[in-house]
């Protein structure tokens, strides 16, 4: 039973398209995150939600819009995809300041 699951695992799409990545956690955690990992492996926080409320938005272009319908789900919608959006996107969850549990990642390739 996967603790943090995100779909899809791979996403190949053309520039200008709109795409969504879904994330669900069954750990009962109150905090969920989206991270972007580039080719140099840096893990950069994009958004953080606590009990469905946005608490961190790290200067991410407004083409990226997170949505949390409930505290177990945090989806990421991306409009007008650009080449520079190609990366691995990780969803994660934690209980307060405890350790974070990550999903398997979504490898996004924009062509």
Partner 1 sequence: GQQVMQIPQYQHVQEGEDFTTYCNSSTTLSNIQWYKQRPGGHPVFLIQLVKSGEVKKQKRLTFQFGEAKKNSSLHITATQTTDVGTYFCANTGTASKLTFGTGTRLQVTL
Residue 28 is a binding residue for partner 1 (CB under 8 A): no
Q: In terms of CB distance, is 85 or 90 closer to partner 1?
A: 90
Minimum gap (Å) between residue 21 Cβ and partner 1: 14
Residue 105 is given by DSSP the state -
Give whichever of 14 and 59 is closer to partner 1, judged by the CB atom: 59
Identify whether the C-beta of residue 106 lies closer than 8 Å to the C-beta of residue 6: yes
Sequence-separated (6 or more) residues with CB below 8 Å from residue 76: 20, 21, 23, 34, 46, 47, 64, 65, 66, 67, 89, 91
Binding site for partner 1 (CB under 8 A): 31, 33, 35, 41-45, 48, 50, 55-56, 90, 92, 94, 96-105
């Amino acid at each position: 039973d996967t603790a943090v699951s995100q779909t899809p695992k791979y996403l190949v799409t053309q520039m200008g398209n709109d795409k969504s990545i879904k994330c669900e956690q069954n750990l009962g955690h109150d905090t969920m995150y989206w991270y972007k990992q580039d080719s140099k492996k840096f893990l950069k926080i994009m958004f953080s939600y606590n009990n469905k409320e946005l608490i961190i938005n790290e200067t991410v272009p407004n083409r990226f819009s997170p949505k949390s319908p409930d505290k177990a789900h945090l989806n990421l919608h991306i409009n007008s995809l650009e080449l520079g959006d190609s990366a691995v996107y990780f969803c994660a969850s934690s209980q307060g300041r405890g350790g974070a549990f990550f999903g398997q990642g979504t490898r996004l390739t924009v062509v």
